[in-house]
Amino acid sequence: MRTQTIEHTGTPQPQPTLPSRDLISTHDLASHEIHALFNLTSMLKQRPADFRSALAGKQMVMFFEKPSLRTRLTFEAGMDSLGGSTLFVDQTASRIDARESLSDIAHNLERWIDLIVLRTFNHATIEEMAAHADVPVINALSDLEHPCQALADLFTLQEHFGDLSKVHLAYVGDGNNVAHSLLLAGAALGTSISIATPTGHAPLKTVVEAAEAVAEETGAAINIFTDPREAVAGTDAVYTDVWASMGKENEANTRNAVFAPYQVNAELMADAASHALFMHCLPAHRGWEVTDEVIDAPNSVVFDQAENRLHIQKAILMWLLGGGIGRLPVRSAHA
């Protein structure tokens, strides 16, 4: 097992307080760990030059079964800005384990590089890689969760509102991987979340129940609706995502008809608080889940979210590679 250290240059650099392990699910993080991660994110965002050699000599490999703009570039730019290097393997033409077992792949990778980033269809692929690899593994998106996105989103809300336990977020649309991660991370931080989806498209019951269990400890309110106006009423931010996620494009026509009443437009935003922000993880299908009027409005923070993907992922890299503490056993909530 490797021992990780941070190289210091000039200004003393803070050591992350989180133990080095994997990031598979937002449910893997306790409230105090997310707050520590956010504190590190703020420092990295405000003083990037102080961390230019923090991960010098570290190597990251990324395997992507799905296309990407923000995830790939922010991880690559983030690793580069910390002094490390990145290797990218395009798996969009075939699954990662098409040629050999994940176990064999993991045992090869752990001897060559320091960290593995996976963007996959099957969440179990990430769990299995983490179970076999003796280096940290990051979930850069699976069909079940998108933890890096949710952490960037909640960090963005913290920048705008401060205390996240006083924030009420509404999510309208498909109960997909983004919705799952927002539920779990938001509950950990005491952020109240209302979700509105069409019947049959709600978040998974197991994820909702896990979020509700955490919310009982943090005081967050978790509400699942079918009426978008009921979910949005009086909230501090309104979030939506595409109606047909990657891998479900063949369902787009059917889904567009089902989800039409869930479009975030000026009329729906009027039900939220007057200071409410609009959020979207991007890419957006303008004219479908959101109108131009809403996504281009002054209260839209979609590009703040996109920028913060870079900063939160740099913090995650520092946490996993710069902590100098042995990895803990994999403990994904969905194993």
Q: Which helix (H) or strand (E) holds 64?
A: strand 59-64
Catalytic: which of 21, 70, 309, 311?
309
Catalytic: which of 72, 148, 168, 281?
281
Catalytic: which of 70, 146, 180, 255?
146
For 163, residues 6+ apart whose C-beta sits below 8 A from its C-beta are none
Tell me the three state secondary structure of residue 143.
Answer: coil
149 is catalytic: yes
241 is catalytic: yes
Catalytic: which of 70, 114, 241, 255?
241
148 is catalytic: no
Question: For 134-276, where are the alpha helices, taking DSSP H only?
Answer: 147-161, 177-188, 205-218, 228-232, 252-259, 266-269
Catalytic: which of 21, 119, 255, 334?
119
Q: Report the Cα 193 to chain-centroid distance in Å.
A: 16
Strand partners, 289: none
DSSP class of residue 48? Answer: G
Catalytic: which of 4, 13, 91, 149?
149
111 is catalytic: no
3-state secondary structure 236-300: CEEEECCCCCCCCHHHHHHHHHHHHHHCECHHHHCCCCCCCEEEECCCCCECCCECHHHHCCCCE
Contact 313, 81 (CB under 8 A): no
Distance CA 4, CA 318 (A): 10
| Catalytic machinery residues | 119, 146, 149, 241, 281, 309
